[in-house]
């Protein structure tokens, strides 16, 4: 193509120099020259799985206050970990977090292993997180390929094959970029670049340290990369939750099954979630026979794989009412500190109105 400027190679040094000037200040990040704490790096990486830095930050700070090190976390009951995690989503992460802390105590005497292979054997740590901890906590040469990497590399090399099929190719290309020096900073630099410059929509190419190396920019197709397969529409489900109240104000709560959706979390007693049911059928699922009154309005909530519409029924029960198996009466003041997922916080809010 005569007249077109030849592309530079994407040099790690150029990105690291940009990082040294523009690194984001994040609560889990060590200061320049400071040694990283593997516990904090691991904790942050678990929280950041499919989660924005803005959402994770307050949870990270609360966890660090309550569980300053891996021994404190391992020694706590899992229920307390779930309470602190409530609202952050993907609750298997919290269960695995606790299991991982115990494994580090039992198998590694409380010291996080540094190799990707050993990290991979721990609960909740997959290929991405193993590489991230190895790189960021131990400055080992590893390539934690997340959504940021995929986007940056897809654009840098103008990979037009859609995700997820292009993943192996993106991985190969990523590996060629990682330098021997400062691999931890480099990994964080790519993430910062993806979060602030090479964004999903309208990337700020004029500010990008790799702009002159970017094949997608040269072709003018950066906005359309990486390509992704279209997602199917979310199915709709319906259900009802029950707000049973005693004269002393206590509310009936229940523990969900230990695995699956919202596994191990606290809930208001609820029907199963599926096709819409008529009122009589719904009330056969109530925890007690009672004078159930439907609340005005509904709770709507979107999960990862379906959308839920929840009705709320309320009834006053006698002080002598015995909580069914797996349920208990909770003092009103204790409800806000329960391990209630967001969908049930919405239901509580509706019931209290």
- Count the neighbouring beta carbons within 10 Å of the beta carbon of residue 63: 24
Question: Is 54 near DNA (CB under 7 A)?
Answer: yes
Question: Is 297 near DNA (CB under 7 A)?
Answer: no
Give whichever of 146 and 311 is closer to DNA, judged by the CB atom: 146
- Give the nearest distance from C-beta 322 to DNA in angstroms: 29
Of the residues 34, 45, 116, 236, only one is catalytic, namely 45
Give whichever of 55 and 331 is closer to DNA, judged by the CB atom: 55
Residue 90 CA to residue 92 CA, distance in Å, equals 6
59-88 positions binding DNA, by CB under 7 A: 87-88
Question: Is 142 near DNA (CB under 7 A)?
Answer: no
> Are 177 and 10 in contact, with CB atoms under 8 Å apart?
yes
45 carries an active-site annotation: yes
Contact residue for DNA among 74, 101, 137, 148 (CB under 7 A): 148
Q: How far is CA 28 from CA 34, 45, 336, in A?
A: 12, 9, 27
Give whichever of 187 and 282 is closer to DNA, judged by the CB atom: 187
- Give the nearest distance from C-beta 5 to DNA in angstroms: 28
Question: Is 301 near DNA (CB under 7 A)?
Answer: yes
Give per-residue burial for 235-245: e unless 16+ CB within 10 Å, then b: eebbbbbbbbb
Question: Is 228 near DNA (CB under 7 A)?
Answer: yes
Question: Is 341 near DNA (CB under 7 A)?
Answer: yes
- Give the nearest distance from C-beta 186 to DNA in angstroms: 13
Contact residue for DNA among 139, 146, 267, 311 (CB under 7 A): 146
Contact residue for DNA among 43, 252, 262, 315 (CB under 7 A): 262
Which residues contribute to the site for DNA (CB under 7 A)?
24, 26, 29, 44-45, 48-55, 87-92, 96, 123-130, 132, 146-148, 151, 188, 191-192, 194-195, 199-201, 228, 230-231, 233, 260-263, 301-305, 341-343
């Amino acid at each position: 193509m005569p007249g077109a400027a030849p592309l530079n190679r994407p040099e790690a040094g150029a990105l690291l120099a940009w990082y040294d000037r523009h690194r984001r200040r994040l609560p889990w990040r060590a200061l320049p020259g400071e040694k990283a704490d593997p516990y904090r790096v691991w904790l942050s990486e678990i929280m950041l799985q499919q989660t924005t830095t803005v959402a994770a930050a307050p949870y990270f700070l609360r966890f660090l206050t309550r569980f300053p090190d891996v021994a404190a976390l391992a020694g706590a009951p899992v229920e307390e970990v779930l309470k602190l995690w409530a609202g952050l989503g993907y609750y298997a992460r919290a269960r695995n977090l606790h299991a991982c802390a115990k494994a580090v105590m039992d198998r590694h005497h409380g010291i996080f292993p540094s190799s990707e292979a050993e990290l991979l054997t721990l609960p909740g740590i997959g290929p991405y997180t193993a590489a991230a901890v190895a790189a960021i906590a131990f400055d080992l040469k590893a390539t934690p390929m997340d959504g940021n990497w995929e986007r940056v590399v897809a654009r840098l090399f103008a990979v037009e094959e859609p995700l997820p099929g292009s993943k192996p190719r993106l991985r190969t290309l990523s590996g060629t970029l990682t330098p021997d020096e400062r691999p931890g900073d480099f990994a964080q630099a790519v993430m910062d670049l993806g979060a602030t410059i090479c964004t999903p929509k309208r990337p700020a190419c004029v500010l990008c340290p790799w702009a002159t190396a970017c094949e997608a920019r040269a072709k003018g197709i950066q906005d359309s990369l990486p390509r992704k397969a279209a997602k199917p529409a979310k199915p709709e489900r319906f259900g009802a939750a029950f707000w049973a109240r005693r004269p002393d104000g206590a509310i009936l709560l229940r523990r969900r099954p230990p695995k699956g959706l919202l596994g191990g979390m606290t809930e208001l007693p609820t029907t199963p979630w599926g096709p819409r049911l008529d009122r009589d059928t719904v009330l056969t699922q109530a925890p007690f026979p009672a004078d159930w009154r439907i609340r005005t309005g509904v709770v709507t909530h979107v999960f990862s794989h379906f959308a839920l519409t929840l009705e709320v029924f309320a009834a006053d029960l006698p002080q002598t009412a015995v909580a069914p198996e797996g349920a208990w009466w909770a003092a009103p003041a204790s409800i806000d500190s329960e391990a209630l997922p967001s969908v049930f916080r919405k239901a509580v809010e509706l019931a209290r109105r």
